Amino acid sequence: MAEIIREQAVISTELDGERLDQAAAQLFPAYSRSRLQTWIKRGELVMDGKTCRPRDKVRSGAALQLVAELEDEVNWQAQDIELDVIYEDDSILVLNKPAGLVVHPAAGHADGTLVNALLNRVPAMAQLPRAGIVHRLDMETSGLMVAAKNLPAHHSLVAQLQERSVKRQYCAVCIGAMTGGGTIDAPMGRHPRQRKKMAVVTGGKPAITHYRIKQRFGHHTRVAVNLETGRTHQIRVHMAHRKYPLIGDPVYGGRPRIPKGASDELIEALRGFRRQALHAEALGLVHPSTGETMHFDCPLPEDMAALLDVLEREDPAHVSDRAY
């Protein structure tokens, strides 16, 4: 028997004037935009009790009511893909995602994803929205993720993410020698010209990133980053906006910057690191069933650890960062 879901939300001032389907995607992040559009067209997702079209504009203070049957969204296939599971019980599964693994099947990645691997390990997750995944990491970002194994756990984790109570810390290695940590409070949205990219834009959605220096090199800096919001590519965009892009970032970092007088080892390390130097190293949440506060840590992957080793030897902190 299909699960009947009942949810409601109120349009905030931030979403005033947005399309209904776009606003619903923000307020009900557990469900895909295409699924929400279907529910809107069927009259299962209404605004102030009235059936609307996906493109209709919403207004601040309007109430959205969702009563719908939760059916399988797609026919994702289980695949035997090895997972590095950090913790698992009847409610949640915490794993260390390797760089290069796509989270959800999509155009260009029909299979071989984290979803396919999870369905092989826990077939019942096929009945959950997005196969139990409540947040995501970019394909080339490594580190900790949590997934729900049943619907109550899914609702709990989604609520914690919406309330910003899930603690997420990342390790990032940036180009440039920072003088101190700080907070980046800069709204984000689609790049005005390059639509596959995100950018800091006027009128974008709120995006807040906190960072502190963990290790300073001559021309690079290792930072610990904590997210207050979870926009697409947020860390990558925000650090590039501050003129400290991540080493290896093919989208926001540009070509590798080689310091003057760099050794062959340093040149090889910088040019050879072909993904953004970003790893989700810590995760904190409240267990959906027990209410226990849980914290997980994950060591750096081999490629980032090797990169830091080279920076320690070949890019000492006493070298001026004006030597490019």
**Concatenated DSSP letters for 20-64?**
HHHHHHHH-TTS-HHHHHHHHHHTSEEETTB---TTPBP-TTPEE
What is the CB neighbour count within 10 angstroms for residue 114? Answer: 24
Query: Please, what is the end-to-end C-alpha distance for the chain in angstroms?
Result: 64
Burial of 168 (0-12, 13-18, 19+ CB in 10 A): buried
- Has residue 50 got a pLDDT over 50? yes
pTM of the predicted model, to two decimals?
A: 0.79
Q: Is the pLDDT of residue 313 over 80?
A: yes
- How far apart CA 65 and CA 82 sit, in angstroms, is 40
138 part of the active site: yes
Domain segments of the chain as ranges:
3-70, 85-158, 167-314
Mean pLDDT of 5-25: 89
Give whole-number Cα distances, 82 to 114, 117, 141, 206, in Å.
Answer: 10, 7, 17, 36
- The residues near 52 (Cβ < 8 Å, ≥ 6 apart) are 20, 40, 46
Looking at residue 195, its pLDDT comes to 73
pLDDT of 75 > 80? The answer is: no
pLDDT band (50, 70, 90) for residue 73: low
Q: Hey, what CATH topology would domain 3-70 get?
A: 3.10.290
Decide whether 85-158 matches 167-314 in CATH topology: yes
CATH of the domain spanning 85-158: 3.30.2350.10
State the pLDDT at residue 320.
Answer: 43
Indicate which residue of 16, 48, 138, 264 is catalytic.
138
What's the gap between Cα 225 and its chain centre? 13
CATH hierarchy code of domain 167-314:
3.30.2350.10
Cα 231 to Cα 84, 197, 206: the distances in Å are: 25, 12, 8
Other beta carbons within 10 angstroms of residue 312's beta carbon come to: 13
The pLDDT of residue 1: 42
Nearest CA to 11 out of 20, 32, 162 is that of 20
Q: What is the mean pLDDT of the chain?
A: 90
